[in-house]
């Protein structure tokens, strides 16, 4: 069994990432950050040097060297992860689902919209954790995915812990 912490869109809210890591770091196997706050992630991870972390650049990560897409496998599940702005996720999720399927992915993780989301679309499970910092559409949120034997066995959206 593998537990993934999925974060996106901290927008300068490093303290939010630190509170999430304080609450979750002992219970997760890896973290996937979906952009718009790479510097926040970098600084927060200094307190968790052994945590496996994967990240991509978002549309607000100016000058970042990280790619805009990533592909990784955990517990037999292939995950395509991206910020989402390059796939028009604010307007439609078909392009994202098609891009993930073309890469052989079972799951597509995305951010950018700041809205938590989970759905099956064709053969791909789409998951957006929402915005973990300075969200303007609702509460600050993050996601947890549980993977086992080649499947997503659980997913949840959680509110970022208060100070």
List the domain range (segments joined by +) for residue 99: 2-159
CA-based nearest residue to 109, from 90, 93, 128, 86? 128
Cα 143 to the center of its chain, rounded Å: 7
Q: Where are the alpha helices (DSSP H) in 6-61?
A: 14-24, 38-45
Name residue, tokens 């069994």: 1
Report yes or no on whether pTM surpasses 0.95: yes
Task: Give me the sheet containing 124-128, strands edge to edge.
Answer: 69-74, 77-82, 107-109, 124-128, 117-121
- The CATH number of residue 23's host domain is 3.60.21.10
- Residue 38, pLDDT score: 97
Dihedral, CA atoms, 31, 64, 130, 103, nearest 10 degrees? -70
Cβ pair 16, 160 in contact under 8 A: yes
- Residue 73, pLDDT score: 97
Q: How far apart are CA 40 and CA 125, in angstroms?
A: 27
Low-confidence ranges of the chain (pLDDT < 50): none
In a 3-state reduction of DSSP, which class is residue 52?
strand
- Residue 105, pLDDT score: 98
Q: Where are the alpha helices (DSSP H) in the chain?
A: 14-24, 38-45, 94-102
Q: What is the pLDDT of residues 69-105, one digit of tens each?
A: 999 999 999 999 999 999 999 999 999 999 999 999 9
Domain count, the chain: 1
Q: Where are the alpha helices (DSSP H) in 14-155?
A: 14-24, 38-45, 94-102
- Residue 138, pLDDT score: 84
- Residue 52, pLDDT score: 97
CA-based nearest residue to 31, from 64, 54, 8? 54
User: Any idea what DSSP says for residue 25?
Assistant: G
């Amino acid at each position: 069994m593998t537990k993934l912490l999925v974060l996106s869109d901290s927008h300068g809210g490093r303290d939010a990432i630190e509170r999430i890591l304080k609450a979750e770091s002992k219970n997760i196997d890896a973290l996937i950050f979906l952009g718009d706050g790479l510097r926040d992630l970098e600084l927060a991870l200094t307190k968790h040097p052994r945590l496996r972390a994967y990240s991509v650049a978002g549309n607000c990560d100016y000058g970042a060297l990280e790619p805009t897409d990533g592909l990784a496998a955990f517990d037999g599940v292939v995950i395509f992860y991206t910020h989402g702005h390059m796939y028009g996720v604010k307007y439609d999720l078909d392009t994202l689902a098609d891009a993930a399927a073309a890469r052989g992915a079972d799951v597509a993780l995305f951010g950018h919209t700041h809205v938590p989301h989970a759905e099956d679309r064709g053969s791909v499970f789409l998951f957006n954790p929402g915005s973990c910092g300075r969200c303007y559409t609702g509460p600050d949120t993050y996601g947890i995915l549980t993977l086992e034997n080649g499947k997503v066995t659980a997913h949840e959206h959680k509110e970022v812990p208060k100070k």
